[in-house]
Amino acid sequence: MVLQAVGLAHSFGERRALAGLDLTIQPGVLTGLLGPNGAGKTTLMRAMLGVIQPDAGHILLDGRPVTFADRQRWGYMPQERGLYPRMPAAEQLAYMARLHGLDRRSAQRRARALLDELGLADRWSERTEKLSGGMQQRLQLGAALVHDPDVIVLDEPFAGLDPVAVAELSVALRERVGAGRTVVFSSHQLDLVQDLCEDIVMIDHGRTVLAGRVDRLRSSTGRRHLRLGVAPGAPRDWLTAFPEVHVVDDQVDALRLDLPAEVDPLAVLDAARAAGPVTDFGLDLPTLSQLFLGALGQDSSDASGAPDGGLDGSAA
Ligand X SMILES: Nc1ncnc2c1ncn2[C@@H]1O[C@H](COP(=O)(O)OP(=O)(O)OP(=O)(O)O)[C@@H](O)[C@H]1O
Sites of contact with other proteins (CB under 8 A): 11-14, 46, 49-53, 68-69, 71-72, 74, 76, 78, 80-87, 95-96, 98-101, 143
- Strand ranges inside 35-177, DSSP E: 56-61, 64-65, 74-77, 151-155
Element (H, E) at 105: helix 104-117
C-alpha 290/C-alpha 22 separation (Å) is 23
- Strand ranges inside 37-117, DSSP E: 56-61, 64-65, 74-77
CB 221 within 8 A of CB 301: no
Instruction: Name the binder of 37 from other proteins, Mg ion, ligand X, none, CB < 5-8 A by kind.
Output: ligand X
C-alpha 203/C-alpha 91 separation (Å) is 37
Instruction: Name the binder of 162 from ligand X, other proteins, Mg ion, none, CB < 5-8 A by kind.
Output: none
From the list 40, 78, 157, 286, which residue makes contact with ligand X (rule: CB under 6 A)? Answer: 40
Using DSSP bridges, classify how beta strands 207-213 and 224-230 pair: parallel, antiparallel or unpaired: unpaired
Query: Residue 87 or 209: which CB sits closer to other proteins?
Result: 87
| Contact stretch for Mg ion (CB under 5 A) within 34-42, 161-169, 229-237, 247-255 | 34-42
Over the Cα atoms of the chain, what is R_g?
23
**Contact flag: residue 92 with Mg ion (CB under 5 A):** no
Phi, psi of 64 (to 5 degrees): -120, 155
Instruction: Name the binder of 10 from Mg ion, other proteins, ligand X, none, CB < 5-8 A by kind.
Output: none
Q: Please state, as a whole number, how many other Cβ atoms lie within 10 Å of the Cβ of residue 305.
A: 13
Min. distance of Cβ 173 from other proteins in angstroms?
A: 18
Nearest CA-CA partner of 304 in 277, 286, 279: 286
C-alpha 218/C-alpha 285 separation (Å) is 6
Number of residues engaging ligand X in binding (CB under 6 A): 12
Query: Residue 51 or 241: which CB sits closer to other proteins?
Result: 51
Cβ contacts of residue 246 below 8 Å, gap of 6+? 257, 258, 299, 301, 302
Using DSSP bridges, classify how beta strands 182-186 and 151-155 pair: parallel, antiparallel or unpaired: parallel
Min. distance of Cβ 228 from other proteins in angstroms?
A: 48
**Contact flag: residue 208 with ligand X (CB under 6 A):** no
Query: Residue 42 or 290: which CB sits closer to Mg ion?
Result: 42
**Contact flag: residue 42 with Mg ion (CB under 5 A):** yes
Min. distance of Cβ 17 from ligand X in angstroms?
A: 3
Min. distance of Cβ 16 from ligand X in angstroms?
A: 8
Min. distance of Cβ 284 from Mg ion in angstroms?
A: 30
Distance of CA 157 to the CA centre of its chain: 9
Query: Residue 57 or 229: which CB sits closer to ligand X?
Result: 57
| Contact stretch for ligand X (CB under 6 A) within 10-18, 115-123, 250-258, 275-283 | 10-18
Instruction: Name the binder of 132 from Mg ion, ligand X, other proteins, none, CB < 5-8 A by kind.
Output: none
**Contact flag: residue 39 with ligand X (CB under 6 A):** yes
101: left (phi over 0), alpha (psi -120 to 50) or beta: left
Distance of CA 97 to the CA centre of its chain: 26
From the list 1, 25, 32, 43, which residue makes contact with ligand X (rule: CB under 6 A)? Answer: 43
**Contact flag: residue 12 with ligand X (CB under 6 A):** yes
Instruction: Name the binder of 35 from other proteins, ligand X, Mg ion, none, CB < 5-8 A by kind.
Output: ligand X
Contacting positions for ligand X (CB under 6 A): 12, 15, 17, 35, 37-43, 79
Contacting positions for Mg ion (CB under 5 A): 41-42, 79
